[in-house]
């Protein structure tokens, strides 16, 4: 691998999977965006229902397709404020970076 080439972020992987439909979601992408049940179990929280996950995926898709959306989601994940970006209907979401704070 070229040392000068950056590894794709978890948001890049999520974007590729949801928008381009060209990638499988990695554990990092699932964890960083609140879609990994193991994170919920680790922090003694109930994992989201199938309906909640569907709503979360739809909301992430909506954010990612907006102008500058991928960058906004990536910054929110990195800065531990994804729940804020998702909105008040997603306060139950537990992204890994927010669980660790």
End-to-end CA distance of the chain: 33
* pLDDT for residue 1 is more than 60: no
In a domain? residue 79: yes
On whether residue 69 sits in a domain, the answer given is yes
Q: 11, exposed or middle or buried, with CB in 10 Å at 0-12, 13-18, 19+?
A: buried
Residue 1 maps to a domain: no
pLDDT at residue number 4: 59
- The answer as to whether 2 is a domain residue is no
- Bigger pLDDT: 101 vs 87: 87
Residue 3 lies in a domain: no
What are the tens digits of pLDDT across the range 43-66? 999 999 999 999 999 999 999 999
The radius of gyration of the chain's CA atoms, rounded to the nearest angstrom, is 13
Q: Which domain holds residue 80?
A: 10-99
- Digit-coded pLDDT (tens) for 10-39: 998 888 888 777 667 889 999 999 999 999
Q: What is the pLDDT of residue 25?
A: 80
- For residue 5, tell me if it sits in a domain: no
Report yes or no on 14 lying in a domain.
yes
Q: How many domains does the chain have?
A: 1
């Amino acid at each position: 691998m070229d040392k000068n080439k950056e590894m794709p972020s978890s948001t890049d992987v999520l974007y590729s999977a949801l928008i381009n439909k060209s990638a499988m979601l990695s554990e990092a992408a699932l964890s960083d965006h609140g879609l990994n049940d193991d994170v919920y179990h680790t922090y003694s929280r109930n994992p989201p229902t199938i309906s909640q996950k569907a709503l979360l995926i739809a909301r992430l898709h909506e954010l990612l397709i907006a102008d500058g959306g991928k960058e906004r989601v990536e910054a929110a994940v990195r800065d531990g404020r994804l729940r804020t970006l998702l909105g008040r209907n997603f306060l139950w979401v537990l992204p890994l970076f927010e669980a660790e704070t």
